[in-house]
Structure 1
C-alpha cells in the first residue's frame, strides 16, 4: 500500500480522511484533477477550522498534495497518487476505508465507465503495451537523470568496453569502416584488419604526427597516414589529427564516458539532414502568424541555418575540404498551390543566409482541389501523410543524389512522416515535439469522441505513440516536457497510461526512463534578436518606422486602437491569437486592473483583426472575445492591437523598440511547451513575465532574470506586474538590472551553436549505439506498423472520405 495512505490510516487523521471523502461525495464533479482536489481540501480545512499548519504538514495534507486525480464511482473513490516523478500508484477506497490496489487495466476500465456507462468494454478493447520492447535496452534508474540519455548511454557503452573490450573495440573498428562520402572511404582502410592492429597503428600514427608542425595541412601528409591505414576524416591539420588520434588511443586503453563522447562526436558521419515540418505555410516571408505556424517555422529555419553552419565547420575540422564534401540541409514541407501571395507554391527555395540549405515543398496528391490546393489545418492533415512520405522519398533521393544521414521530425505530423521515411530509407530518426496536443486540451483522450469532428485526436494520439516509440532519439526543450514537475504530469508522461474509450487502452505507451530522451533547448537567432543597447547593429529607419507603427500610426486595415497617451510604459505581447496563447486573458487582466491601466498601455501583435479574414475557427473565436473585452472594460485609448505580419527583422526590432521605452513583455499562455518568444524578449533586454505552466519554468529564474506568473489568476498577475513597475519607479536602475540578467541568461544557455553541436553529437552517438548494440528493433517496428495500418490508416481514410465533400 502507498506509504502516504498508510500514514493517514495509522494516525489520528483516519477520521479526517473519512470526513474529507464525505466532502468529496458532495461535489458535482466526479472526476477531480489536482487543482480541484486542492480546492476541495482547502474548503474542508476551512469548514473544519483546522489550524493553518494542518493544510500542509498533516499526514492527510501530504496525501492530498501528491494525489493527482480522484475519480468517484457510486460512494467509492479511486485515488491516483504520484509521489514520485514519472511513477504513479492507484488505489480503490471504499466508504469504510478499506483499500485495494488497482491495476492499470482497472483504472482504464473505470475511466471508460465514467465516460460511457451504457457501453462497457467487457474486456474486448485493444490494449497497447510497449513495455516489452524496452526490456532488452538499458534503462535509466534515477528520475533526475531522465532527459540525459546520451550521458547515460556513454557510461553504459564505456562500461561494456571495460567488461568486454575485445568485442566492443572490434565493433568500434567495424563502425569506423562504415563511413564514406560519395564512394570515398573515410577514417580507416583495409590495411587495418583487427582491433589489435587498430591499437598499434593509432600509436604509430600519433608518433608520426608528433614530429610535424601543428599547423601543417592534412593534405601534406595524407599519403603517409593512408599507408598506416588511415583515410581522411581525422583532422585538417597535424594538431587536429594528433588530438583526434590521442582521444581514440585513450578510448582503446581506458574507456570512460567523456572520452567516448569526445571521440564519437568527431566521427564524420552526418552530411545530409532532413528537417520535416509538414503541414504547411512554411516559408521565410509572409507566413508567420498564420494558423499552425509561428514558433515552429522560426525554430526550424533557425535550426536549419545553424545545422548547416555546424556541418560546414565539422567538415573543415575533419580535413574533408579537398574531397568536395558539401553538407546539405533540407526542410521538407508541403507545397500549397493557392499560396496567398507567399512562396509556399515554389518547389524549392534557398534558405536565406546559407550556402546549401533548402526548403523542399512536395505537393499533396490530387484529391478534392478545395482541400489539396489550399492550406489544411494541422488537425485535418492526417489522411495525406502516407502518400506525402512516399512522394517525398523520391524527391529527397533526387535532391541528395542518395539518402540522408538523419531525419528530424517536428510536431506530430512531421514525426509520423519521419518514421515512414526513416523506415523506408533505413536512417536515424529524431523526434521533436515541443507541443503535444494531448497535454494542451483537458480530458482530450477521455472525451475524444466528442472532440473528434473538430480535432481528430484519435489520429493524432495514435501518430504520437507510433513516432515517439519508433524514434532512435527524442529531443525535448525541457525536462518537464518529458516528466513534468513534482506536482504536474509531463507531456510525454501523459502517454504512459491512458484510454480512448471504445478505441483502445494504452497500458504502457512510452518508456520514460529510456535513454532515447535528451533535453536540448533551442537557441535564439542572434542575427535578428539582440540587446536593444547594441545601437550600432540597429537600423534607425526601421526603429522609427516600427515605433510609429506600434504607438501612433493610424491604419484601420491592420491596426486597432488609438492611444490617449502614447508615452506610457508599454505592456507588450506577441503571439498567435488562439485559446492556449491566452492573449485575451492578458487583455482581461489589464482590463480588471486600474493600476496597470494607469501606468501602462497594452500593445498586442496578434493575428487578424477581423473574423472574416481568418480561416481558423479558434482564431475567429478569440477575435470576437478580444473585442468584447475591450468594450466591457472600456479600454479604448489604452490598447493597440496590430494584426500585422512581421518579417523576422521587424520582429526583432519591435522588442527593442519596446525596450527603448523601458517596456515589459508578458507571455500569458495557459500552457507553453517551451517559449521562443520568451528567449527573444529576454535577449532583446525586455524584463519578461511568463506563464509558470510549461517550459518557462526552466528558462526563467523567478525574480532573478524574469518573473513567472499564473495566467489563470488575473489579480495576482496584475499585482506582480504593478509591483515590478513600482520598484522601477523607486529605483530607476531596477529595470536595467532585470534586463541585463535576462540577456546574460540567454547567452549562457540558449544559443543555436550550443543546440546544434549537441544535436549532431547525439545523432552520432545514437548511430554508434544502434550499430554496436545490434539492437533488433524489427519487432518494435512491426508492432508500430500494425498500429499504423490497423488503427491509424482506416481512420485517416474515413477522414479523407469526409474531405471529398468539403
Structure 2
C-alpha cells in the first residue's frame, strides 16, 4: 500500500496531499485515528471546493480510506496503512520533500510511546513480546478471507500430509484410534490389531461382516463378532452406521481427502467430560445475570452446556455407546449471595441429566472482598489460586481429567489456560468481547486508566490465553480480523504498546488455523416466534403486557405512557456506556417524529444509583434520568428496573411483537449480540449497531436494519423511515419479521453450534496428537510472562484491595 502513497506523490494530487498534511499539523491532536482522519479529509475537501468524485474516488481518497492512524511528528508523518483486513504497513513521510520510507514495528511502537509522553527510546530499553517465532513452523492460512476457517484449512493440510507421507500419518492415525477408552473400557480397536498393516487387512474383513447384516440390525447383535476381528464399540449403533464409519476409515487409508478426514474424526467418541469456565461469578439460573458485567455470558454458557450435553448424548448413542457424559460449568462461589444460589457449591442445570454448576470460592485473602461480588476489572488477583483449588474439585466431581476445557471471557480463559496446562487437556477459548477494542487507545494510556480498569493485567492475560489455546472460537469473522473499515478485536493484539510496561511486536498470528467462527444460537424452548400462540402461556402474556405498558410500581417501573397504543420502541440491556441505552434515549428525545409515532420502553437493570456498586452503571442511571428531565419525556418513556426470569425474557419480546413493535440494539460496539437473535427469532424487526457482530447477523434492509449509534439523527431517520413504510404497507412489518425468523433458524441454533464445537475439539485433539508440533517452548514462554508480568501485577492489586479494606 506504500505504492499507493507513492502514486499520490507522483500524480497531480501531490499538492492536495501536501495541503492535507498541512491541515493535519494544525490539529491539536498528534495521534489521529481513522474517524479523525476521515473527518479532517471531509473538511479539507469542503474548504477547497473539491467535488464529490474527488472525496470518493481520487487516489488520495483511497489512501485516506486505507489509513488507520496518523502520528504527527515535528518533521514527518507516520501512517499506519491497512490495505486488506489483518495486514498492516507502517511508513513515514517527510513533511518537507514527501520522501517515503518504511518503519519497523519497533520504531512505530517507540513513536507511539513518545506521542503518549511516557517513554523515549533514549531513556532505555523496553521489554518486547514477540510470539511470531512460535508460529513460524506451523501451517499458515494465506488468504485473509479464510481466517476463521481454521479447521477446514487444517483438514486439507492433514489430508495432504497423509497423501505425501502415508506411512507416517497412517501409523499416527492407527495409534490415535487405539488411545480411546471410556471408564476403563477399550473403544474402537483392541489388542488383536497390533499394526497399521493389520488394521488395513482386518478392515476389509469387518466390512464384509457388517455388509452381510440388515442395515438396522443393532450393534449388540454382532458386537462379539467384531471384537474377534479387533474392533471394539464406538463405530456405530447399527450395522448401517458401523459400515459408514468403517468405510470412511477405509477410504481415508486408500485416498486421503479432507472431507473424509473430518467426517471420520468427528465420529470418534473421545469427549465424555467437558468443563466450561465462567469464573467471574453471580452465575446461576434464577435472578442471576452477571451483576451487571457478564449477563450475556451467563445466558450463553447455560445454553451451551445444555446443548453440549444433548449433543454428546446423541453422538454417543449413534456410536453405539451407553454413556453418561458430564458437563460442568466452573464458576466462583459467593458467600454473600444476595438471595441467589451463588453460595451453593453444586447446582444442577435445569433440563439436563448430568450438567452441573460447580462453584469454588476464592481463597479468603480479604474475606470482605472475596465473599462478595467483585467487578470483572478487579478479579485478577484471585484467579491463580482459584484455578489450583478448582483442579482438585473438578477431578473429584468428574472422577478423572476432563477431555475439553472451554474458557469464557478474559478471566475464564486465563483460568482455562492454568487448568489445561496442569491437566494436559485440550483448551478452547471464547472471548465474547475483548475490552481492548472497546476503549480507544486504552493500551496507550493504560497508566491513567489502570486504577479503574487494570488493563495492564487484562491485556497480559489475553495474550497468555489466546496464544496458549489449542483453538479459539469467535462468533463472527470480524471479531478476529475486522472489516475493511475497522480492525478486529484479535487483530488489535497483533502490535501494540503499553508504555513503560512492554511492546507487543507480534501478539497473535491471525493466520494460524486455531481460529474458527462458530456463532452461538438461541434457546428455542424460550425464544420462539410470537405467532406460536399455542406454546405461550396466557397468564405470562397478560402479566408482562401489564408490566410493560401500565403497571404503576415505583419499585420496578419509572415513567408512565400517556398513549400506550403507540408502537413500542423496545430495548433490553444492562446500563453501561458501551450498551448505550442512554444514547438511544437521547436519540428518541431529539426526534419529534419518533415521539409522535412510538413509545420508548427500556428493560435495564436498576432504577436507583444507590442500588448499584458498578461505576459505569451508576453514571448511566444518572444520565438517563437527566435525559428524561431535560427533554421532558414524561408520558413517552417506560424504564423497567427488573431482572427477568428466563421464560419472561422470551415472552417479553413476543408481547412487544404482538403490538408490532421494534427492537433497537444501540451499542457503541457489540461483539456478537444474543439479544439480536432473541428479538429476531421472536418476530421483532430489529435495528442493531453496525459496529461488531450484528454486521454479520443482519442483512441490512432484508431481515433487519443496521444503524450507526454515533449518528443519532441518522439512527432516528432510519427508524422513522421503517415506521412510515409500515404505515403505507401493512404487510411490510410482517415481511421483515418473517425474514428475521428465517435468518435465525437457518444459521444461529445451538444444535449447529455444539455440533461444530465438538467436531473442532476432536479434530484439534487429533492434530495435537499427530502433528508432533512441539508446543512446550511456546508454553514455557507463556509461563514466563505469567510469572514475571502477570503475577507481580496481580499481587499489587491484591495488596491494594487489602489496603482499601483496612481503610474502610
Change (3 A) 1:121 1:628: farther
- Aligned partners of 1:147 and 1:517 also within 8 Å: yes
Q: Does residue 26 of structure 1 match 2:31? A: no
- Aligned partners of 2:281 and 2:290 also within 8 Å: no
Q: Work out the CA distance in 1 between the residues paired with 2:341 and 2:739.
A: 39
SS at match of 1:32: strand
CA deviations over 1:143-165 (Å, ceiling 9, x no partner): 00000000000000000000011
Q: Does residue 5 of structure 1 match 2:2? A: no
SS at match of 2:267: coil
1:288 CA drift (Å): 2.1
Q: Work out the CA distance in 1 between the residues paired with 2:261 and 2:95.
A: 58
Change (3 A) 1:258 1:108: same
With the length of structure 2 as denominator, give the TM-score of the two structures. Answer: 0.99
1:119 CA drift (Å): 5.2
**Matches of residues 322-337 of structure 1 in structure 2 within 5 Å?**
325-337=323-335
1:75 CA drift (Å): 4.0
Q: Work out the CA distance in 1 between the residues paired with 2:118 and 2:244.
A: 68
Q: Work out the CA distance in 2 between the residues paired with 1:710 and 1:460.
A: 28
1:293 CA drift (Å): 2.4
Change (3 A) 1:702 1:210: same
- Aligned partners of 2:331 and 2:357 also within 8 Å: yes
1:485 CA drift (Å): 0.2
Q: Work out the CA distance in 2 between the residues paired with 1:138 and 1:469.
A: 15
Q: Work out the CA distance in 2 between the residues paired with 1:211 and 1:779.
A: 51
Residue of structure 2 equivalent to 1:273: 274
Residue of structure 2 equivalent to 1:62: 62
Residue of structure 2 equivalent to 1:78: 78
Q: Work out the CA distance in 1 between the residues paired with 2:234 and 2:27.
A: 68
1:290 CA drift (Å): 2.1
> Could you say what the CA RMSD is over the residues aligned between the two structures, in angstroms?
0.8
In the alignment, which of 749, 752, 756 is matched to residue 750 of structure 2? Answer: 752
Residue of structure 2 equivalent to 1:309: 310
Q: Does residue 379 of structure 1 match 2:377? A: yes
Residue of structure 2 equivalent to 1:500: 498
Aligned length: 803
Q: Work out the CA distance in 2 between the residues paired with 1:91 and 1:316.
A: 59
In the alignment, which of 619, 625, 628 is matched to residue 626 of structure 2? Answer: 628
SS at match of 1:314: helix
SS at match of 1:92: strand
Residue of structure 1 equivalent to 2:249: 248
Once the two structures are overlaid, the 10-residue window that deviates more, 3-12 or 742-751, is: 3-12
Residue of structure 1 equivalent to 2:210: 209
In the alignment, which of 535, 540, 546 is matched to residue 542 of structure 1? Answer: 540
Please, which runs of 5 or more residues in structure 1 have no aligned partner?
Answer: none
CA deviations over 1:120-157 (Å, ceiling 9, x no partner): 56441100000000011100000000000000000000
Q: Work out the CA distance in 1 between the residues paired with 2:506 and 2:119.
A: 26
- Aligned partners of 2:118 and 2:499 also within 8 Å: no
Residue of structure 1 equivalent to 2:151: 150
Residue of structure 2 equivalent to 1:510: 508
Once the two structures are overlaid, the 10-residue window that deviates more, 111-120 or 98-107, is: 111-120
SS at match of 1:572: strand
Q: Does residue 711 of structure 1 match 2:709? A: yes
Q: Work out the CA distance in 1 between the residues paired with 2:204 and 2:470.
A: 34
Residue of structure 2 equivalent to 1:649: 647
Q: Does residue 106 of structure 1 match 2:107? A: yes
Q: Work out the CA distance in 1 between the residues paired with 2:132 and 2:36.
A: 32
SS at match of 1:161: helix
SS at match of 2:52: coil
Residue of structure 1 equivalent to 2:732: 734
Please, which runs of 5 or more residues in structure 2 have no aligned partner?
Answer: none
Residue of structure 2 equivalent to 1:524: 522
With the length of structure 1 as denominator, give the TM-score of the two structures. Answer: 0.99
In the alignment, which of 763, 769, 772 is matched to residue 771 of structure 1? Answer: 769
1:49 CA drift (Å): 0.8
Q: Work out the CA distance in 1 between the residues paired with 2:272 and 2:695.
A: 35
SS at match of 1:435: coil
Once the two structures are overlaid, the 10-residue window that deviates more, 747-756 or 283-292, is: 283-292
Residue of structure 2 equivalent to 1:293: 294
In the alignment, which of 484, 489, 492 is matched to residue 491 of structure 1? Answer: 489
**Matches of residues 62-461 of structure 1 in structure 2 within 5 Å?**
62-96=62-96, 97-116=98-117, 120=121, 122-288=123-289, 290-321=291-322, 325-461=323-459
CA deviations over 1:301-320 (Å, ceiling 9, x no partner): 00000000000011111111
- Aligned partners of 2:297 and 2:432 also within 8 Å: no
**Matches of residues 780-791 of structure 1 in structure 2 within 5 Å?**
780-791=778-789
1:353 CA drift (Å): 0.2
Once the two structures are overlaid, the 10-residue window that deviates more, 49-58 or 301-310, is: 49-58
Residue of structure 1 equivalent to 2:50: 50
Q: Work out the CA distance in 2 between the residues paired with 1:120 and 1:199.
A: 63
- Aligned partners of 1:671 and 1:693 also within 8 Å: yes
- Aligned partners of 1:289 and 1:575 also within 8 Å: no
**Matches of residues 525-604 of structure 1 in structure 2 within 5 Å?**
525-604=523-602
Q: Work out the CA distance in 1 between the residues paired with 2:488 and 2:364.
A: 39
CA deviations over 1:358-406 (Å, ceiling 9, x no partner): 0000001112111011010110000000000000000000000100000
- Aligned partners of 1:289 and 1:576 also within 8 Å: no
In the alignment, which of 702, 719, 722 is matched to residue 720 of structure 2? Answer: 722
Residue of structure 1 equivalent to 2:477: 479
SS at match of 1:316: helix
Q: Work out the CA distance in 2 between the residues paired with 1:361 and 1:19.
A: 62
Q: Work out the CA distance in 1 between the residues paired with 2:3 and 2:191.
A: 62
In the alignment, which of 694, 697, 711 is matched to residue 695 of structure 2? Answer: 697
Q: Work out the CA distance in 2 between the residues paired with 1:122 and 1:190.
A: 66
Q: Work out the CA distance in 2 between the residues paired with 1:95 and 1:404.
A: 60
- Aligned partners of 2:118 and 2:500 also within 8 Å: no
